[in-house]
Amino acid sequence: MKFQEINRWKFAFFTLLGLVILVFIIAVIAFNRLFPSIEETEWSISPNEGSAVFTIHTTRDDLNQFLATMVEQMPEENVPYEVTLEKQHIQFNSSLSLLGNNVPMEVYLKPEVHDNGDLILEVNSFSLGIFQIPSQQILQLAKNYVELPEWVHIHPSDNRVHLNVNEMDNPYGAVIAFTKFDLLQDEIELEVRIK
């Protein structure tokens, strides 16, 4: 009887030992599956030489909506003009106070992208109430009497308006440059660089 009793204890001991080893192996396998091995990678800090570049594609309608939203956020007295993108030109509407009367002014501009990403607007046609005045004089009047943002430069002698978009105020220090401005094809593209 002693021999059978020892075999039973031996059998129970080895069975328990086998179960413990089996549970340990299952735990190790489960741990490895839940927590994969860590890959060795070389890590170094490199100086920020470039900047993030985002390309934005938009349309006339979207840009008109954006301009309208910007104007809505400004006090009405700070926006004495309206800019609308049409199919073939950009329309600038404002009014001038002449002899105590507000005279409506409309200027139609043809956009062209400059090599540096600025937008050059060439005067196509204009009207100042019922008066026919040479476009250079209209631009001079606009330069003298219409309060424009600092990044809008009027050059009456060249019959052009220069939109230096890099001078626009933005809270992120972004640099904006137009790459395409085709109203007829309804394709407007610009790059935004964030340093």
Q: What is the DSSP string of 101-121?
A: EEEEEEEEEEEEE-TTS-EEE
Same domain, residue pair 39 and 65: no
For the full predicted model, state whether its pTM sits above 0.75: no
The model's pLDDT over 39-56, given as tens digits with 9 standing for 90+, comes to 554 544 444 455 678 898
Same domain, residue pair 13 and 32: yes
Same domain, residue pair 78 and 141: yes
> How many Cβ atoms sit within 10 Å of the Cβ of residue 26?
10
Percent of the chain whose predicted confidence (pLDDT) is above 70: 78
Counting beta carbons within 10 angstroms of the beta carbon of residue 89, is it exposed (0 to 12), middle (13 to 18) or buried (19 or more)? buried
Task: Name the phi and psi angles at 125, rounded to 5.
Answer: -150, 170
Mean pLDDT of the chain: 78
Model pLDDT, residue 164 = 86
Residue 67 has pLDDT above 90, yes or no: no
Same domain, residue pair 35 and 75: no
Same domain, residue pair 62 and 104: yes
| Pairing of the two strands 119-128 and 152-155 | unpaired
Residue 176 contacts residue 166 (beta carbons within 8 Å): yes
Same domain, residue pair 81 and 19: no
Same domain, residue pair 76 and 110: yes
Same domain, residue pair 74 and 153: yes
The model's pLDDT over 142-157, given as tens digits with 9 standing for 90+, comes to 787 777 778 888 888 8
Same domain, residue pair 10 and 58: no
Same domain, residue pair 70 and 98: yes
Same domain, residue pair 91 and 126: yes
Confidence bin at 128 (pLDDT 50/70/90): confident
Of 56, 86, 81, 59, the residue nearest 70 (C-alpha): 81
Same domain, residue pair 91 and 125: yes
User: What is the extent of the structural domain holding 18?
Assistant: 1-43
> Number of folded domains in the chain?
2
Residue 169 has pLDDT above 90, yes or no: no
- DSSP bridge partners of 101: 98
